[in-house]
Every structure is written in C-alpha cells, then in structure tokens.
C-alpha cells in the first residue's frame, strides 16, 4: 500500500465555521495562496450554498490555485451540488465534496429519513457530482457513531457510483483512538471495492483526541487526513495540521509515511491565520505556540545550549522559526544567563555574573519573564570589576 498521506486542509471551511474565525474574500485568497505554498494536497475553500460570498470566494480561489486541488463542500441536495460544481468550474484541480449524515441519531432527529433514503441520496449525489468532476469525495457525517455495517453498505455504493475518496468523520469528537482505528480497519477490510477509492479521516477535537485518532486512522489504512492550521474548527476544533504533519515527520521511525508539506511554511501559515483572524495561538500549543521552542528552566536551558537534542525533538528551523528561545525567568540558571548576556554583548567574569544573577532572580520573582531590556537596565545600573564594567557600560550605552 502506498505510504503517501494526502493533507486535506479545511481551515477555510470547517475552520472558518468556528465562532470568531470568519474571513472575508481577500483574506481567504491570501490564506489559500499560503496553503498552496505550504504544500497541502487539497484546499477545501468553502461551502458555496452557504452564501453568495462563499460561492464567489470558492470561485476566485479556484482561479488562482494551480498546484493544490480546490474542494467545494455540498450536501446531497441537487441545488447544493449545482452550486458547488459551478463554484469550482475554473479550478485547475476541482473536487466536489458531498456529505450526508449516517448515524441513526442524525437520521431520526435531523434528517427524518430512513437508511435506505439516505443511501439513495448519497448515490444520486455522487453520480451527479461525478458526471461533472473526476474527483469526488463522499463524507458520512457522524460516521464514528454510525453502524459499521451500514457504513460498509453506503461506502460500497458510493464508490460504485464514482466516489474517489470516502471520508469517515468523527464529527462530534467522540471516538477513542483504538475504536476509531478499529473502525477504519473494518471499513478497509470490509468494503469490497475499496481499491477504487482512498479512505480519509476527519476528526474533531472535543476530547483532545483529534490528532491521535487521525494517526490511528492512517495506521489502519486511511491515506488522507483532514485538518486545519492551528487546529481551528467547530467547537474544540479539528485535527491540527501542524501536529499531524510534524508527528509523521518526527516519528518516521515508527510511522513510515510521507506528506507533500513543506514544513518550513508551518509557522508562517500559523502566523498568517492568527494575524488575519486576530485570534492568537495559545502559548503552549504544540509546534506553533510561542513556548513550543522556549526554555526557561535552568536544567533544560543548560542541556539545550550544550545540545538541543537534549530537550528538543525537532528543530525550530524545521517548522520555519529562526531559532529556539531562551527565556530568562526565576527558574533559569547562571549558564543560560551568561549566554544571554553574551548575546547582548556583555562578557562577565564569574564574580560579576554572580552579582547580576542575584539581581536577575530578584526581578524574576516579581516579573515572571525578564526581558532583554531588563537585563540591559540591570547591567547599566550595576557596579563591576574594572574590565567588565567597561564592556558593560559601553554596550549598555549603545
Ligand atoms: O465534521 C464533519 O462531519 C464535517 C463534514 C461535513 C465532513 O465537517
Ligand atoms: Zn468537521
């Protein structure tokens, strides 16, 4: 089986659906170009039936994106499908992504349809989409709470109708990694025509398991992961693109897969999204949070300064940062302080370093983080042995 994993980015669709993340057309175009630079295989550009604005934006994205596929989402209704087909008409690589719920709970309360009716709508939608587009994805919404036997039946039928990707969403983020992995395995082994389509995973993060579930999905036969930059998306979000990609890259020794993502574009993509939406990233967010490559504890600082391998499992450069960050705070030691001061141009002897270290820890007790400007201030206002003082005041006065 091919070990290449397609990265399907849904930042502009599922991501944008979350409160506070809506973007205008110009912002979406800017982000789409960055996603293409990032190297994602598919950009889900929007839900054209949702609004005229969404329709126009998908259309414009289709015109400017050349390397990635551009997908438009639609329900299985004819009107939705027509709108999606029309929206991607100019795309170099168009994809129609149609979906309908398959869990009994959704059938009973939301759709008020029988399993047979849902199956019929799904097949008709895929047939229609396929008559206009070679690349058709079908999603069984709430798949993780659906009867696996029914999923086998509906996926078999839509592949027969022309679906080239079948998506298995954990729509409500309910699945546990081993359960979700088992579901993908059951589908992979149970769908007789699965050789004609690829299995996709689409996991929400309500229990913080979206990335783990996605990885279990690919371990069991899926070859496409749906995810978003910074993990944004409905409620607690979708699987985070940067976490999925860096997990695959960093743990290649355990999961031998490849992606087309240029990981150096991860941090710029994250920053662009944060800047456009005005929503920052939590500091401890894996890969792209401001503390992801920062070290404050003395023991860690000492190790990282001697060799980053001691406390870093990937390099900051690999995700597009220029370096790690040594933060001076109350947990820092003399070694890191000395290096930091040297970066600022101060070369202290042991005695002077001890003096400064005491002043810095006193400040750190009050201030949480000691900035470079604080260090310069301390240096400028301290008494040193003659040679150091010259260096300190000379640099401090610059
Ligand atoms: O979470 C979900 O089920 C979805 C589908 C529309 C793919 O976003
Ligand atoms: Zn979703």
Ligand 1: which of 10, 46, 101, 139 to mutate, judged by most atoms within 8 Å of the beta carbon? 139
Assess if residue 335 is contained within a domain: yes
The answer on pLDDT for 23 being more than 50 is yes
Residue 339: both structure tokens together: 């290096």
Q: Can you give the residue range of the structural domain that contains 373? A: 294-380
Assess if residue 396 is contained within a domain: no
The answer on pLDDT for 368 being more than 90 is no
Same domain, 241 and 375: no
The answer on pLDDT for 394 being more than 60 is no
Report the DSSP pairing between strands 69-75 and 294-295: unpaired
The mean pLDDT value of the chain amounts to 95
Average pLDDT over residues 254-265: 98
Highest mean predicted confidence (pLDDT) among 133-142, 322-331, 334-343: 133-142
Last residue of a domain, one of 249, 277, 305: 277
Q: How far is the CA of 13 from the centre of ligand 2 (A)?
A: 9
Q: How far is the CA of 228 from the centre of ligand 2 (A)?
A: 10
pLDDT in tens, 191-225: 999 999 999 999 999 999 999 999 999 999 999 99
pLDDT in tens, 125-182: 999 999 999 999 999 999 999 999 999 999 999 999 999 999 999 999 999 999 999 9
Query: In angstroms, rounded to a whole number, what is the distance separating the alpha carbons of residues 8 and 6?
Result: 6
Average pLDDT over residues 353-379: 94
Q: Write down the pLDDT at residue 1.
A: 84
pLDDT in tens, 264-302: 999 999 999 999 999 999 999 999 999 999 999 999 999
Average pLDDT over residues 231-258: 98
Q: How far is the CA of 171 from the centre of ligand 1 (A)?
A: 6
Q: How far is the CA of 175 from the centre of ligand 2 (A)?
A: 14
The atom number, within ligand 1, closest to the CA of 167 reads 7
pLDDT in tens, 82-94: 999 999 999 999 9
Which CATH number is 374's domain given? 1.10.238
Q: Write down the pLDDT at residue 324.
A: 86
The atom number, within ligand 1, closest to the CA of 226 reads 7
> Is residue 141 within 8 Å of 130, Cβ to Cβ?
no
Ligand index nearest the alpha carbon of residue 227 = 2
Same domain, 73 and 205: yes
Assess if residue 288 is contained within a domain: no
Same domain, 243 and 363: no
Same domain, 214 and 79: yes
Torsion sign across C-alpha atoms 45, 107, 203, 224: negative
Same domain, 234 and 335: no
Number of folded domains that form the chain: 2
Average pLDDT over residues 360-368: 93
Same domain, 306 and 244: no
Pocket-forming residues, ligand 1, beta carbon under 6 Å: 14, 99, 139, 141, 167, 169, 171, 202, 204
Average pLDDT over residues 340-356: 94
The atom number, within ligand 1, closest to the CA of 171 reads 1
Q: What is the pTM of this model?
A: 0.93
Same domain, 265 and 310: no
Q: How far is the CA of 226 from the centre of ligand 1 (A)?
A: 10
pLDDT in tens, 223-232: 999 999 999 9
Q: How far is the CA of 395 from the centre of ligand 1 (A)?
A: 57
Is residue 233 exposed (0-12), middle (13-18) or buried (19+ Cβ within 10 Å)? buried
The answer on pLDDT for 42 being more than 60 is yes
Residue 101: both structure tokens together: 């719920």
pLDDT band at 388 (very low <50, low <70, confident <90, very high): low
Q: Write down the pLDDT at residue 387.
A: 54
Residue 287 region by backbone torsions, left for phi larger than 0, else alpha for psi between -120 and 50, else beta = left
Ligand index nearest the alpha carbon of residue 144 = 1
Last residue of a domain, one of 277, 306, 336: 277
The answer on pLDDT for 393 being more than 80 is no
Assess if residue 42 is contained within a domain: yes
Query: In angstroms, rounded to a whole number, what is the distance separating the alpha carbons of residues 168 and 135?
Result: 17
Torsion sign across C-alpha atoms 359, 361, 365, 367: positive
Ligand index nearest the alpha carbon of residue 71 = 1
Assess if residue 69 is contained within a domain: yes
């Amino acid at each position: 089986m091919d070990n290449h994993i397609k990265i399907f980015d849904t930042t502009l669709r599922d991501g944008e659906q979350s409160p506070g993340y809506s973007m205008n057309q110009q912002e979406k175009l800017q982000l789409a170009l960055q996603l293409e630079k990032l190297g994602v295989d598919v950009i889900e550009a929007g839900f054209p039936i949702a609004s005229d604005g969404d329709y126009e934006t998908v259309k414009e994205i289709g015109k400017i994106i050349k390397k990635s596929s551009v997908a438009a989402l639609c329900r299985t209704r004819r009107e939705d499908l027509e709108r999606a087909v029309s929206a991607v008409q100019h795309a170099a690589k168009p994809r129609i992504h149609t979906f309908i719920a398959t869990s009994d709970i959704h059938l009973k309360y939301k759709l008020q349809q029988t399993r047979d009716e849902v199956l019929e709508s799904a097949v008709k939608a895929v047939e229609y989409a396929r008559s206009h587009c070679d690349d058709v994805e079908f999603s069984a919404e709430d798949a993780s709470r659906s009867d696996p036997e029914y999923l086998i039946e509906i996926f078999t039928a839509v592949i027969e109708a022309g679906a080239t990707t079948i998506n298995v969403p954990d729509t409500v983020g309910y699945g546990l990694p081993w359960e979700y992995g088992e579901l993908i395995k059951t589908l992979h082994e149970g769908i007789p025509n699965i050789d004609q389509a690829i299995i996709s995973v689409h996991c929400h993060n309500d229990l913080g398991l979206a990335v783990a579930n996605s990885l279990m999905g690919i371990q069991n036969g899926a070859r496409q992961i749906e995810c978003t930059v910074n993990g944004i998306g409905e409620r607690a979000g979708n699987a985070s693109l940067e976490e999925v990609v860096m997990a695959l890259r960093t743990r290649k020794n355990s999961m031998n897969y490849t992606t087309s993502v240029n990981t150096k574009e991860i941090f710029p993509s994250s920053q662009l999204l944060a800047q456009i939406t005005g929503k920052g990233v939590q500091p401890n967010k894996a890969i792209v949070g401001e503390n992801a490559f920062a070290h404050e504890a003395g023991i860690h600082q000492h190790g990282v300064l001697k060799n980053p391998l001691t406390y870093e499992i990937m390099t900051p450069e690999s995700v597009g940062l220029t370096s790690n960050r040594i933060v001076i705070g109350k947990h820092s030691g003399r070694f890191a302080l000395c290096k930091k001061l040297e970066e600022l141009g101060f070369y202290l002897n042991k005695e002077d370093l001890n003096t400064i270290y005491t002043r810095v820890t006193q400040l750190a007790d009050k201030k949480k983080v000691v900035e470079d400007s604080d260090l310069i201030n301390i240096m400028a206002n301290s008494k040193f042995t003659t040679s150091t003082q010259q260096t300190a005041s000379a640099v401090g006065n610059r």
